[in-house]
Amino acid sequence: MNNPIVQVRDVHKSYATGAQSHLDVLRGTSFDVEEGQVVAIVGASGAGKSTLLHIIGALDRPDSGSVLLDGEDMFSMDDHRLAAFRNKNMGFVFQFHHLLPEFSARENVAIPAMIGGATLADAERRADELLDIVKVSHRADARPSELSGGEQQRVAVARALVNGPRIVLADEPSGNLDEDNATLLHDMLWALAREKRQTFVIVTHDAELAARADATLRLHEGKLLVRE
């Protein structure tokens, strides 16, 4: 067995729902993710899937517990250091692509690299390489409104990969796509996992996507029921 790239240990998270009440969203979740794995997180709406994904991605902090990436405890960092760590080590793909409408596909992919310190030339060169990998290089100069839904999501995947992240976190990445485009996206994610040893953690309601995963984490009322 490989050493885990991500270690989630006894994570708890709750949110206030009133002056004197709160909702326990995660109640002691623990698991590991190995490098190059595709891990699916499944469960009913409200089970805590997106909250767990946001904590793994350091978009939110847990109330207690820890998340280690390559052995480093992310939540021991202050917000400034954590933001830099997240930009360098993590990529994100959401159900709605969140591409910036005023920029081209190439520019959307290049922006995180420039935030990370790359020159414009290097960022755009890397963007073009990734747009070719996800098979939308012919649309590099198009703005998001000129792209199909499937093309938008493939650009979003390229953007997630531009900084060479250790892990990509995806929240319902095919939830807004028709069946054909969803299948194309799933095939692309698996190819990246197998050929590039890219690690993915994916929240999904898609049974076909979850069935293809190397491991499936099923959440119920904030607790991990089973690792399938």
**What residue segments make up the domains of the chain, in order of their start?**
36-60+78-216
Domain 36-60+78-216 bears CATH identifier 3.10.150.10? no
Reply yes or no on whether the pLDDT at 109 is more than 90.
Answer: yes
Rounded to the nearest 10°, the torsion over CA 132, 136, 138, 140 is -90
DSSP-derived 3-state class of residue 35: coil
Q: What is the pLDDT of residue 25?
A: 78
Reply yes or no on whether the pLDDT at 226 is more than 60.
Answer: no
Reply yes or no on whether the pLDDT at 94 is more than 90.
Answer: no
| Alpha-carbon span 135 to 63, nearest angstrom | 41
DSSP-derived 3-state class of residue 80: helix
Q: Which residues contact 104 (CB under 8 A, 6 or more apart)?
A: 140, 141, 142, 143
Least trusted range by pLDDT, from 30-39, 109-118, 163-172, 178-187: 178-187
Q: What is the pLDDT of residue 20?
A: 65
Q: What is the pLDDT of residue 223?
A: 79
Reply yes or no on whether the pLDDT at 90 is more than 80.
Answer: yes
Least trusted range by pLDDT, from 72-76, 79-83, 210-214: 210-214
Reply yes or no on whether the pLDDT at 222 is more than 80.
Answer: no
What does the block give as tokens for 174?
Answer: 């095919």
Q: What is the DSSP letter of 192?
A: H
